[in-house]
Amino acid sequence: MLHPDRFLSPVPTVRTIARRLYERTKDLPIVGPHGHVAPALLAENAPFPEPTTLFLSPDHYLFRMLYSQGVAMESLGVPPDGPDGQDVAVESDPRVIWQTFADHYHLFRGTPSRAWLDYELYEVFGVSKRLTSATAQSVYDQLAERLQEDAFRPRALFDRFGIEVLTTTDKASDDLIAHDRIRTSEWDGDVRPCFRPDALFRIADGGWNDELDLLRAATDADISDYRGFVAALEDRRTFFRQHGCVSTDHAVETLATQRVAEAEVKAVFQRALRGEASTDDQAVFEAHMLMEMARMSCEDGLVMQIHPGALRDHHTAVYRRFGPDKGADIPLRTEFTRALRPLLNAYGAHPNYRLVVFTLDETTYARELAPLAGHYPALRLGPPWWFHDSIEGMLRFRRRTTETAGIYNTAGFNDDTRAFCSIPARHDLARRVDASYLATLVARHQIAEEEAQSMARALAYDLVRTTYRLDEETTAEA
């Protein structure tokens, strides 16, 4: 049911060229340098329990859309993980939830979720019927049957998907036991952690001291002052690197980078320890810690990623009942030219530094990010992120960045997903859209088709490996 030319331009010459380009990238291995799959999934390798848990529960792209059309979160079985969630009763019959989902499947027309889901249903699971209200239960049956087969366990799917590297996202204090179990198992899948210390920088947040305790527990360090805190972070970065980690990740609501004088940052840290840090203190601290993370990256070679500009948990009532990541994170206007200047001036030409920047504000593609990436050696542009990980979103990204930064200052694709079975769907869509974009350049006689072939391969495979230094050992400076 999937058309072989899907997502390619309908312009005849462009489609013909795109088809040839895609033919050369479609079977390349998948390298996932950034995502949110739980490593325990692959450590345990247990069968997925049933279709609803596999498809819907981890995917806020999906229940978000149904919620926006008046379908209650409760009826979708979304677990009530918020602080006020104890009194929330949710639907527990996965077949009932699946039916509700199928009844609203039309809402996804024209969205990437629809493209991914179709791929998962028809390509990954070989479902033989279109998902509709009428077929919902028999589609569920087909899926449930497949999930009992060994070929549909996580590791088997990982291998079938052609995943060469999969990166998870892990708290700075994580023990990485799941990663250990994978590494010491007989299975040779390459699953790597990513160091994400955000929670430790949010010093005005009520939960900060708990996070600090987790960090203390994970290290032997005495974290009674700022120096100890920095030493503990360095310690954890070493631990992560020993577990195959090649990157760090940093999410901030408002982007700023600024080194603060030692005396001031020490004072801020003491206020935080006393539970007295203000939101202004936190802004100063986050801006400073991004500088520190860059400094450490110059030393240990970890590739630094920044994901700025999402206002998390915009809908307080949903957060209080269901917790974070429930489809209510809304982008903000974001500024890079001034915000990154201190960081790029300090480290942007350092030979051991690599920074990958993502944005939810597409206006910065051509105005700020492409010009920055077209100058600073350390900077690469991450692929279209989150809401923009879609056909039109990807086309906008390429059209607005390539003319100024070229493609070689971009970081290849990453799927950024917690929905495991959507990984091959997402890479396939990206490869098709990139092939189509490049085919337009060929059809307009901007480049030769041989060049486009090499570029298509770079976008699908080479750039992600070089950007994330997967072919180098990440080595600390002498």
Q: Which of 29, 149, 406, 475 binds a second copy (CB under 8 A)?
A: 406
Q: Which two tokens stand for residue 389?
A: 């990980």
Find out whether 18 and 439 touch, Cβ atoms under 8 Å.
yes
Closer residue to a second copy in complex, CB, 218/441: 441
CA dist 239 and 195 (Å) reads 10
Query: Residue 115, exposed/middle/buried by CB under 10 A (0-12, 13-18, 19+)?
Result: buried
Q: How far is the CB of 4 from a second copy (least distance, A)?
A: 9
- Residue 293, H or E segment: helix 279-300
Nearest C-alpha neighbor of 94 from the set 129, 46, 44, 143: 143
Q: Which of 128, 316, 324, 477 binds a second copy (CB under 8 A)?
A: 316
Q: How far is the CB of 472 from a second copy (least distance, A)?
A: 14
Contact code string over 348-377 relative to a second copy, x by CB under 8 A: xx-x--------xxxx--xxx-xxxxxxxx
Q: Which of 391, 419, 421, 463 binds a second copy (CB under 8 A)?
A: 391
Instruction: Provide the angle, in degrees to the nearest 10, between the axes of the packed helices 262-273 and 279-300.
Output: 120
Instruction: Provide the angle, in degrees to the nearest 10, between the axes of the packed helices 423-443 and 12-25.
Output: 130
341 binds a second copy (CB under 8 A): yes
Which residues are bridge partners to 357 per DSSP?
306, 381
- Binding part of the chain for a second copy, among 103-111, 172-180, 208-216, 241-249 by CB under 8 A, reads 103-111
From residue 192, give the alpha-carbon distance in Å to each of 43, 52, 187, 391, 417: 12, 27, 14, 28, 15
Which residues are bridge partners to 310 per DSSP?
331
Q: How far is the CB of 356 from a second copy (least distance, A)?
A: 14
Residue 275, Cβ neighbours under 10 Å: how many?
Answer: 11
103 binds a second copy (CB under 8 A): no
- Binding part of the chain for a second copy, among 133-141, 160-168, 322-330, 412-420 by CB under 8 A, reads 322-330
Q: How far is the CB of 191 from a second copy (least distance, A)?
A: 30
Q: How far is the CB of 168 from a second copy (least distance, A)?
A: 25
- Residue 230, H or E segment: helix 226-242
Instruction: Provide the angle, in degrees to the nearest 10, between the axes of the packed helices 226-242 and 262-273.
Output: 90
Q: Which two tokens stand for residue 272?
A: 């935080």
390 binds a second copy (CB under 8 A): yes
Q: Which of 300, 329, 428, 434 binds a second copy (CB under 8 A)?
A: 329
Q: What is the DSSP letter of 409?
A: T
Closer residue to a second copy in complex, CB, 28/65: 65
Closer residue to a second copy in complex, CB, 219/417: 417
Closer residue to a second copy in complex, CB, 274/445: 445
Going 209 to 211 to 213 to 215, the CA torsion angle's sign is negative
238 binds a second copy (CB under 8 A): no
Closer residue to a second copy in complex, CB, 344/357: 344
Q: How far is the CB of 114 from a second copy (least distance, A)?
A: 7
Please report, as residue ranges, which positions from 121 to 160 form the binding site for a second copy (by CB under 8 A).
Answer: none
Closer residue to a second copy in complex, CB, 237/400: 400
Q: How far is the CB of 76 from a second copy (least distance, A)?
A: 13
Closer residue to a second copy in complex, CB, 270/454: 454
Q: How far is the CB of 387 from a second copy (least distance, A)?
A: 5
Q: How far is the CB of 301 from a second copy (least distance, A)?
A: 15
From residue 404, give the alpha-carbon distance in Å to each of 375, 389, 390: 10, 21, 22
Q: How far is the CB of 169 from a second copy (least distance, A)?
A: 21
Q: How far is the CB of 384 from a second copy (least distance, A)?
A: 10
405 binds a second copy (CB under 8 A): yes
- Binding part of the chain for a second copy, among 11-19, 22-30, 39-47, 208-216 by CB under 8 A, reads 11-19
Please report, as residue ranges, which positions from 35 to 74 form the binding site for a second copy (by CB under 8 A).
Answer: 64-65, 67-70
Q: What is the DSSP letter of 75?
A: G
CA dist 360 and 109 (Å) reads 22
Instruction: Return the beta strands (E) in 80-210 as ranges.
Output: 163-167, 170-171, 191-192, 195-196
117 binds a second copy (CB under 8 A): no
Closer residue to a second copy in complex, CB, 160/444: 444
Query: Residue 271, exposed/middle/buried by CB under 10 A (0-12, 13-18, 19+)?
Result: middle
Closer residue to a second copy in complex, CB, 192/469: 469
Angle value at C-alpha 100, between 97 and 105, nearest 5 degrees: 125
- Residue 331, H or E segment: strand 330-331
Which residues, including other chains, have CB under 8 Å from residue 428's CB and lie 6 or more apart? 26, 119
Q: How far is the CB of 202 from a second copy (least distance, A)?
A: 19
455 binds a second copy (CB under 8 A): yes
Angle value at C-alpha 470, between 181 and 157, nearest 5 degrees: 50
- Binding part of the chain for a second copy, among 39-47, 216-224, 267-275, 388-396 by CB under 8 A, reads 388-396
- Binding part of the chain for a second copy, among 100-108, 143-151, 197-205, 291-299 by CB under 8 A, reads 100-108
Q: Name the 3-class secondary structure at 170.
A: strand
